[in-house]
């Protein structure tokens, strides 16, 4: 089963946090489909978290990888390194990486290729800013981000796209779920028509997903799951969101 719910822990966590989170999650999750759940902790905790969740088939991934394999690039981590630790996916091109670390579509494209070469499924993030939304250019912006990132990576065997409006991240605001549904449909159309060789597994929504809005999001046919930041830091809330997903979709 493809990934449906992915926790993006960003710059949060500790060994103690891993233990607490796992305790709360397993106490509250009532599904069996562990392999549709992913967690992206800070890279330094990947190995520890893997041990904490032990035999469960929850997937562990990274929040970012470097655009090359090896070399004089102090502080970077490659796709082959995270694969070596047992990671199955990596978030790539999150808006925080684009804005704070100046990642361009070209850089993102190299990262997608690195992930693919190492059998790590990339979760490519795309999303419009508030200004772009107000200018009514959302559709065009998303299309350009997708084409920009995929044009030199048109044979990726597997990819997940996360639609994350920048203004919805961490703000408590989400677009109308019907609008998200149409955007996901458009994303699927763009990938399938322009890049027919790419294996698009699913399109997730991200930005202020929580227990209150989970059901109205997961009721939408083209929302295949969610990439969750703030609400994923609480093992119980993340488990309850996963239960909502299971009730509606599994
Ligand atoms: P949020 O973050 O759920 O805290 O809005 C989502 C993300 O940035 O992936």
The domain ranges of the chain are 5-249
Number of alpha helices (DSSP H) and beta strands (DSSP E) in the chain? 10, 8
Q: Which residue lies with its CA nearest to atom 3 of ligand 1? A: 229
Ligand 1 atom closest to residue 169's alpha carbon, by position in its atom list: 5
Provide the sign of the torsion angle of the four alpha carbons 201, 202, 203, 206, taken in this order: negative
76 is catalytic: no
Q: Any idea of the CA torsion for 8, 155, 185, 109, to the nearest 10 degrees?
A: 50
Q: Is 169 in the pocket of ligand 1 (CB under 6 A)?
A: yes
Tokens standing for residue 171: 């703000």
Distance of CA 121 from the midpoint of ligand 1 (Å) = 19
Residue 1: the pLDDT is 63
Please name the residues in contact with 126: beta carbons below 8 A apart, sequence gap of 6 or more: 93, 142, 145, 146, 149, 161, 162, 163, 164, 187
Please name the residues in contact with 143: beta carbons below 8 A apart, sequence gap of 6 or more: 186, 190
The Cα 63–Cα 88 span in angstroms is 12
164 is catalytic: yes
Ligand 1 atom closest to residue 232's alpha carbon, by position in its atom list: 3
Domain boundaries 5-249, corresponding CATH code: 3.20.20.70
Distance of CA 42 from the midpoint of ligand 1 (Å) = 15
Q: Is 209 in the pocket of ligand 1 (CB under 6 A)?
A: yes
Q: Under a CB-based contact definition with an 8 Å cutoff, are residues 68 and 114 in contact?
A: yes
pLDDT tens across the length of the chain (250 residues): 689 999 999 999 999 999 999 999 999 999 999 999 999 999 999 999 999 998 679 999 999 999 999 999 999 999 999 999 999 999 999 999 999 999 999 999 999 999 999 999 999 999 999 999 999 999 999 999 999 999 999 889 999 999 999 999 999 999 999 999 999 999 999 999 999 999 999 999 999 999 999 999 999 999 999 999 999 999 999 999 999 999 998 7
């Amino acid at each position: 089963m493809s990934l449906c719910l992915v926790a993006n822990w960003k710059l949060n966590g500790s060994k103690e946090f891993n233990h607490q989170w796992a305790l709360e999650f397993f106490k509250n999750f009532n599904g069996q489909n562990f392999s549709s759940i992913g967690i992206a902790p800070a890279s330094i905790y990947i190995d520890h978290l893997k041990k904490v969740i032990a035999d469960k088939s929850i997937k562990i991934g990274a929040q970012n990888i470097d655009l090359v394999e090896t070399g004089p690039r102090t502080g970077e981590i490659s796709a082959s390194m995270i694969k070596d630790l047992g990671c199955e996916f990596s978030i790539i091109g999150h808006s925080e990486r684009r804005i704070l670390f100046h990642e361009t579509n070209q850089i993102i494209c190299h990262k997608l290729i690195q992930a693919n070469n190492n059998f790590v499924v990339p979760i490519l993030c795309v999303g419009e800013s508030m200004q772009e939304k107000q200018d009514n250019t959302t559709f065009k912006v998303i299309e350009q981000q997708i084409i920009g990132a995929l044009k030199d990576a048109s044979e990726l065997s597997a990819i997940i796209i996360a639609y994350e409006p920048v203004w919805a991240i961490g703000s408590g605001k989400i677009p109308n779920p019907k609008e998200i549904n149409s955007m996901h449909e458009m994303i699927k159309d763009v990938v399938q028509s322009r890049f027919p060789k790419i294996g698009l597994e699913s399109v997730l929504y991200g930005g202020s997903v929580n227990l209150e809005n989970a059901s109205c999001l997961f009721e939408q046919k083209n929302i295949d799951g969610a990439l969750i930041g703030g609400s994923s830091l609480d093992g119980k809330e993340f488990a309850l969101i996963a239960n909502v997903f299971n009730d509606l979709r599994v």
